Structure 1
Amino acid sequence: MIASPASHLMTEPGRGQRAAPIAVQNLDYWFGQGEARKQALYDVNLEIERGELVILMGPSGSGKTTLLTLVGCLREVHEGSVRLLGKELNSASEELLVACRRQVGFIFQAHNLHESLTAMQNVRMALEVHGPAAMRNWYEASSHLLRLLGLGERLDYLPGNLSGGQKQRVAIARALVGNPEIVFADEPTAALDKESGYQVVKLLKDLGRVRQTTTLMVTHDNRILNLADRIITMEDGRIVQDER
């Protein structure tokens, strides 16, 4: 069972009013080269406001994860415009991409934990990129989130001794520990039972309300759709529906 959100995570940071954290215009994307080149996204236009929890839905191969990875600086943008936290990603330098990645958190369907590190150490790794100031309270921040996610008795467990759902909750703690401005999530509830999955998405929803954290999530999980501020449906590389 996941605990209720606590004050450390829910403190309003006073970020103030700024441009939409995610703005996409006329985005096209291709995989492959030459005769094998295949278009994956077609003229995608999307703007997500600060604090919104937006769910991307659609059949397999519709372009959801491709869009998520382009906006999240995990693929290069070549055609069209993607602005993340006010920074243009098309033809951006590696230095700028690294700086942007430090302001976002990623939750992947495959938890991508380091098998030789404990739950605490896996979460701590996400703070190391933020420098010495963030590391001063790494133990308190990491243990707080793991306890919040129901893993208080497994802080020192290696991933091999955790269930699939527990591993996913460690990955979620890792994504949130740096208090990112944007969270990108690819099927974050796939390994979780109904109650745990709902509580994780509720936590993301509360972060949007209190801290103005923006979440863009790919999911097929119909159990959590009522928590979304918007549901965007994709088919064949295009946005075909945007429901608020």
Structure 2
Amino acid sequence: MGNASITTRGLNHFFGKGDARKQAIFDVNLEIERGSLTILMGPSGSGKTTLLTLIGCLREVSDGSVSVLGHELNNADEDLLVGLRRRLGFIFQAHNLHESLTSTQNVLMGLQVHGGGNPQKQRDAAHHILNLLGLADRRDYLPSNLSGGQKQRVAVARALVSNPEIILADEPTAALDKESGHKVVQMLKSLGKARGTTTVMVTHAPRILEMADRIITLEDGHIVSDQRQ
């Protein structure tokens, strides 16, 4: 437990009320080590994204326990949840970029939730991460002038620029070609080694599985396999 970034105990989750109430997560018990790259797998509707959003303070934890960076989420107040979200980086399949902002400005949004900071240092940090992701020549482009893969890499840069302690990624490489996808996951692995950043990622991409430290498979809200590599 001492080295775990994320712990769940007896975690259940339900959608709907009354006759429409349906259980989506069943008695999930996990301990995810700091600095590790964990992949969540399973068919559509198996609970992967629901589990990711519970860990990410994006859904209320009401049945069982989720502890993130040492803080219990069940019955947590909004101030704690907001504070924790600022320590997390989110990469979603839909890139969610602001269409009126350039690549650099979109990445800067990932720093502005933290308030304050030196504007020039923030801009340098944004440029550095865009350069690492092969977007040096697209820094001043609007999303409408970027390809789908380039937009997704901007979204990845926005999630990583603030050096989050945990990265939660839902199909982050789905829009990327093989080389770009590999580069993104390699960067996440490097952050784990260098900074102790913990990554939990939903993916179906076979080429990425071999890079994971651990592969957890869900079916119908149950963990059916938990393999360490």
Q: TM-score per shorter chain, which class?
A: over 0.9
Runs (5+) with no aligned partner, structure 1: 1-16
Distance 2:37 2:118 in 1: 26
Tell me the equivalent position of 1:189.
173
User: Residue deviations 1:115-161, cap 9 Å, x none?
Assistant: 11110000001101112136451110000000110000011100011
Q: Deviations over 1:52-96 (max 9, x none)?
A: 000000000000000000000110000000000000001111110
1:69 equivalenced with 2:40 (yes/no): no
Rounded Cα–Cα distance in structure 1 between residues aligned with 2:205 and 2:119: 35
Distance in 2 separating the partners of 1:135 and 1:67: 36
Q: Which residue of 1 aligns with 2:114?
A: 130
Deviation string 1:183-241 (CA, Å, 9 cap, x unpaired) is: 00000000000111011101101111111100000001111111100000000101111
Matches of 1:28 and 1:116 in 2, distance apart?
A: 40
One-letter code of the match for 2:16?
G
Unmatched runs of 5 consecutive residues or more in structure 2: none
Partner in structure 1 of residue 9 of structure 2: 25
Give the secondary-structure state (helix, strand or coil) at the position aligned to 1:81. strand
Counterpart residue type for residue 114 of structure 2: H
What is the rounded CA distance, in whole Å, between the counterparts of 1:30 and 1:126 in structure 2? Answer: 31
* Partner in structure 2 of residue 118 of structure 1: 102
Cα offset, 1:18, TM superposition: 5.4
Matched, 1:199 2:188: no
2:78 is aligned to 94
Distance in 2, matches of 1:24 and 1:126, equals 27
- Paired residue for 1:147? 131
Structure 2 CA distance for partners of 1:137 and 1:217, relative to 1, 3 Å: same
- Report the equivalent of 2:63: 79
- CA RMSD between the two structures: 1.2
Q: d(CA) in 2 for partners of 1:19 and 1:228?
A: 18
Q: Structure 1 runs of 4+ off > 6 angstroms?
A: none
- What corresponds to 2:195 in structure 1? 211
SS at match of 1:137: helix
Aligned to 1:230: 214
TM-score (norm 2): 0.97
Q: Secondary structure at the match of 1:243?
A: strand
Deviation string 1:99-120 (CA, Å, 9 cap, x unpaired) is 0000010000000001111100
2:93 to 109, 114, 137: 109
Going from structure 1 to structure 2, the CA distance change for 1:153 and 1:20 (only over 3 Å counts) comes to same
Q: Is the 8 A contact 1:127 1:134 kept in 2?
A: no
Task: Determine helix, strand or coil for the equivalent of 1:227.
Answer: coil
TM-score (norm 1): 0.91
- The question of whether the paired residues in 2 share the 8 Å contact of 1:19 and 1:86 is answered with no
Aligned residues: 228
AA aligned to 1:109 is: Q
Alignment partner of 2:27 out of 25, 43, 59? 43
Which stretch shows the higher mean deviation, 119-128 or 135-144? 135-144
Q: Report the secondary structure of 2:149's partner residue.
A: helix
**Contact 1:127/1:135 (CA < 8 Å) preserved in 2?**
no
